[in-house]
Chain A
Amino acid sequence: MMKFRFRRQGTDPQREKIKQELFAFNKTVEHGFPHQPSALAYDPKLQFMAIGTKSGAIKIYGAPGVEFTGLHKDTTAVTQIHFLSGQGRLLSLLDDNTIHLWELVGGNPKEVGGVRREGVVSLQEVNSYNLPGRPGIESCSATRVTVLLLLKSCDLLCIGTEGGGAYFLEVPRLSLKDNQTLLQDEISQSLPDEYRCGKALGPVESLQEHPQQAGKILIGYSRGLVVLWDLSTRHADQLFLGKQQLESLVWERSGNLFVSSHNDGGYSVWAVTSDQSCNPLPVSSTIPYGPFPCKAINKILWRTTQSGSPLLLYSGGMPRATYGDRHCLTIQQDKDHITLDFTSRVIDFFTVHSVEQEKEFDDPSALVVLLEEELVVIDLQTPGWPSLPTPYLAPLHSSAITCSCHISNVPPKLWERLINAGKAQQGRQHAHRVGGSLHEDGTVRFWDASGVALTPLYKLSTANVFHTDCDPSDSQDLNDDPDMQQEEEWPPFKKVGCFDPYSDDPRLGIQKISLCKYSNKLVVAGTAGQVIVFGLSDERSDHLLDVSVMDLLQDREGFTWKGHDRLDLRLKPPPFPPGFQPLVLVQCMPPASVTAVALHAEWNLIAFGTSHGFGLFDYHRRNAVLARCTLHPNDSLAMEGPLSRVKSLKKSLRQSFRRIRKSRVSGKKRAISTPTSKVQEANAALAEHEDVAPVQRRIEPRSADDSLSGVVRCLCFADTFLRDGTHHGPTLWAGTNSGSVYAYALEVPGAGSGRMCERGGVNEAGMCVEAVLGKEIQLMHRAPVVSISVLDGQGKPLPDPYEASQDLASAPDMTNAHSVLIASEEQLKVFSLPKVSAKTKFKLTAHEGCRVRKVALVIFSSATQEDYNEHTLVCLTNLGDMHLFNMPGLRPQVRYDCIRKEDISGIASCVFTKTGQGFYLVSPSEYERFSLSAKVITEPLCSVLLDRLLDCKPFSRCLLELPKLSWRTASDVVCSYVIYRSYFHPEIPLIMLCN
Chain B
Amino acid sequence: MSRPQSRIGIKLHQHVIEVKSKFEAEYRRFALKRNSHGGFQEFYHLLQSLHLIPGVEVLLGYADIHGDLLPINNDDNFHKAVSSANPLLRIIITKKEDEPEVFGTNSLQRRKKGLGLTGLRTATIGSTHSRHKPSLLIGQPQDFRQISSIIDVDILPESHRRVRLHKHGTHKPLGFYIRDGVSVRVTPQGVEKVPGVFISRLVRGGLAETTGLLGVNDEILEVNGIDVVGKSLDQVTDMMVANSHNLIVTVKPSNQRNNVTHRVTKSSGSVGSAGSSGSARDSPSPAAQSNPITASNSIAEGDSEDEEDDCDLIMENDSLLTHQVINSNLRDSHDLRPLPQSISLPNSMAASMISNHNGNSEESLREDGNIISL
A residues lining the B interface (CB < 8 Å)? 1-4, 625-628, 694-702, 723-724, 745, 763, 765, 768, 770-781, 783, 826-827, 829, 836-838, 843, 845-851, 879
Q: Is B98 an interface residue (CB 8 A)?
A: no
B312 touching A627, Cβ below 8 Å: no
Give bound CA distance, A212 to B239, whole Å. 72
Q: Is B311 an interface residue (CB 8 A)?
A: yes
Please name 8 pairs of A and B residues whose Cβ atoms are closer than 8 Å in the assembled complex, sorted by A: A696-B179, A777-B314, A780-B313, A829-B312, A846-B226, A847-B239, A850-B235, A851-B238
Q: Is B138 an interface residue (CB 8 A)?
A: no
- B contact residues around A702 at 8 Å (CB): 241, 244
Q: Which 3 A-B pairs have the closest CB atoms?
A: A849-B235, A701-B244, A845-B242
The answer to whether A694 and B179 touch (CB under 8 A), given A777-B315, A850-B238, is yes
Main secondary structure on A side of the interface with B: mixed
Distance to closest chain B CB from A376 (angstroms) = 43
Give bound CA distance, A774 to B316, whole Å. 6
Residue of A765, A781, A836 contacting most chain B CB atoms (<10 Å)? A781
A699 touching B245, Cβ below 8 Å: no
Query: Which of these, B228, B243, B299, B310, contacts A1 with CB under 8 Å?
Result: B299
CB-CB contacts below 8 Å: B343-374 with A: 364, 367-373
**Binary contact track B226-260/A, C-beta < 8 Å → 1, others 0:** 10100111111111111111010000000000000
B303 touching A1, Cβ below 8 Å: yes
Residue of B240, B302, B309, B311 contacting most chain A CB atoms (<10 Å)? B240
A772 touching B245, Cβ below 8 Å: no
Give bound CA distance, A781 to B245, whole Å. 8
- A contact residues around B311 at 8 Å (CB): 780, 838
Query: Which of these, B228, B296, B364, B369, contacts A4 with CB under 8 Å?
Result: B296
Q: Is B200 an interface residue (CB 8 A)?
A: yes
Query: Which of these, A625, A770, A843, contacts B306 with CB under 8 Å?
Result: A843
> Which single residue of chain A is at the shortest CB-CB distance from B294?
A3
A701 touching B241, Cβ below 8 Å: yes
A701 touching B296, Cβ below 8 Å: no
CB-CB contacts below 8 Å: B300-330 with A: 300, 302-303, 306, 309-317, 319-321, 323
> Which single residue of chain A is at the shortest CB-CB distance from B247?
A699
Query: Which of these, A700, A765, A779, A829, contacts B244 with CB under 8 Å?
Result: A700
Distance to closest chain B CB from A8 (angstroms) = 13
Query: Which of these, B201, B245, B247, B315, contacts A776 with CB under 8 Å?
Result: B315
Distance to closest chain A CB from B235 (angstroms) = 3
- B contact residues around A701 at 8 Å (CB): 167, 174, 241, 244-245
The answer to whether A772 and B372 touch (CB under 8 A), given A1-B300, A699-B176, is yes
Give bound CA distance, A843 to B175, whole Å. 23
Give bound CA distance, A763 to B173, whole Å. 52
Give bound CA distance, A837 to B313, whole Å. 10
> Which single residue of chain B is at the shortest CB-CB distance from A879?
B235
B315 touching A699, Cβ below 8 Å: no
> Which single residue of chain B is at the shortest CB-CB distance from A693?
B179
A627 touching B315, Cβ below 8 Å: no
Query: Which of these, A697, A763, A770, contacts B178 with CB under 8 Å?
Result: A697
Query: Which of these, B181, B231, B235, B312, contacts A778 with CB under 8 Å?
Result: B312
B242 touching A772, Cβ below 8 Å: no
- A contact residues around B231 at 8 Å (CB): 849
Distance to closest chain B CB from A490 (angstroms) = 58
CB-CB contacts below 8 Å: B161-203 with A: 167, 173-181, 200-201
Residue of B179, B236, B245, B312 contacting most chain A CB atoms (<10 Å)? B312
Give bound CA distance, A773 to B371, whole Å. 12
Distance to closest chain B CB from A283 (angstroms) = 68
- B contact residues around A772 at 8 Å (CB): 317, 319-320, 323, 368, 372
Q: Is B105 an interface residue (CB 8 A)?
A: no
Give bound CA distance, A627 to B238, whole Å. 34
Give bound CA distance, A777 to B321, whole Å. 17
A768 touching B371, Cβ below 8 Å: yes
- A contact residues around B240 at 8 Å (CB): 699
Give bound CA distance, A699 to B208, whole Å. 10
Q: Is B224 an interface residue (CB 8 A)?
A: yes
A846 touching B239, Cβ below 8 Å: yes
Give bound CA distance, A358 to B210, whole Å. 93
Distance to closest chain B CB from A695 (angstroms) = 6
> Which single residue of chain A is at the shortest CB-CB distance from B297?
A1
A-B residue pair count with CB separations less than 8 angstroms: 150
A699 touching B174, Cβ below 8 Å: yes
Distance to closest chain B CB from A609 (angstroms) = 15
> Which single residue of chain B is at the shortest CB-CB distance from A758?
B324
Residue of A701, A778, A849 contacting most chain B CB atoms (<10 Å)? A849
- B contact residues around A1 at 8 Å (CB): 225, 296, 299-300, 302-303
- A contact residues around B242 at 8 Å (CB): 781, 783, 826-827, 843, 845-846
Distance to closest chain A CB from B201 (angstroms) = 7
Interface size bracket, B side: 35 or more
Distance to closest chain A CB from B373 (angstroms) = 5
> Which single residue of chain B is at the shortest CB-CB distance from A702?
B241
**Can you add 7 more A-B contacts, CB < 8 Å, to A1-B300, A773-B320, A849-B235?**
A1-B296, A772-B317, A775-B315, A776-B314, A780-B312, A845-B242, A848-B239
- B contact residues around A768 at 8 Å (CB): 371
- A contact residues around B237 at 8 Å (CB): 697-699
> Which single residue of chain A is at the shortest CB-CB distance from B367?
A773
B371 touching A770, Cβ below 8 Å: yes
B238 touching A849, Cβ below 8 Å: yes
Distance to closest chain B CB from A223 (angstroms) = 56
Distance to closest chain B CB from A992 (angstroms) = 32
- A contact residues around B317 at 8 Å (CB): 772-776
Give bound CA distance, A848 to B242, whole Å. 11
Distance to closest chain A CB from B1 (angstroms) = 37
- B contact residues around A697 at 8 Å (CB): 177-179, 233-234, 236-237
Distance to closest chain A CB from B117 (angstroms) = 13
> Which single residue of chain B is at the shortest CB-CB distance from A724?
B321
Distance to closest chain A CB from B311 (angstroms) = 7
The answer to whether A745 and B320 touch (CB under 8 A), given A1-B299, A771-B368, A843-B306, is yes
> Which single residue of chain A is at the shortest CB-CB distance from B197?
A697
A694 touching B200, Cβ below 8 Å: yes
> Which single residue of chain A is at the shortest CB-CB distance from B300?
A1
Give bound CA distance, A95 to B309, whole Å. 60
- A contact residues around B167 at 8 Å (CB): 701
**Binary contact track B325-343/A, C-beta < 8 Å → 1, others 0:** 0000000000000000000
Give bound CA distance, A625 to B368, whole Å. 10
- A contact residues around B373 at 8 Å (CB): 763, 765
> Which single residue of chain B is at the shortest CB-CB distance from A766?
B373
Give bound CA distance, A778 to B310, whole Å. 11
The answer to whether A699 and B372 touch (CB under 8 A), given A4-B296, A694-B200, A775-B317, is no
Give bound CA distance, A780 to B319, whole Å. 24
Give bound CA distance, A775 to B201, whole Å. 41
A700 touching B323, Cβ below 8 Å: no
Give bound CA distance, A182 to B34, whole Å. 101
Give bound CA distance, A779 to B234, whole Å. 22
**Binary contact track B133-168/A, C-beta < 8 Å → 1, others 0:** 000000000000000000000000000000000010
- A contact residues around B236 at 8 Å (CB): 697, 849
> Which single residue of chain B is at the shortest CB-CB distance from A744?
B368
Distance to closest chain B CB from A765 (angstroms) = 5
Distance to closest chain A CB from B314 (angstroms) = 5
Distance to closest chain B CB from A402 (angstroms) = 26
Give bound CA distance, A745 to B316, whole Å. 12
Give bound CA distance, A780 to B241, whole Å. 12
> Which single residue of chain B is at the shortest CB-CB distance from A849?
B235
> Which single residue of chain A is at the shortest CB-CB distance from B227?
A3
A845 touching B174, Cβ below 8 Å: no
Residue of B303, B317, B319, B369 contacting most chain A CB atoms (<10 Å)? B369
> Which single residue of chain B is at the shortest CB-CB distance from A722?
B320
> Which single residue of chain A is at the shortest CB-CB distance from B66?
A780
Distance to closest chain B CB from A548 (angstroms) = 14
- B contact residues around A2 at 8 Å (CB): 299, 303
Residue of B180, B224, B236, B368 contacting most chain A CB atoms (<10 Å)? B368
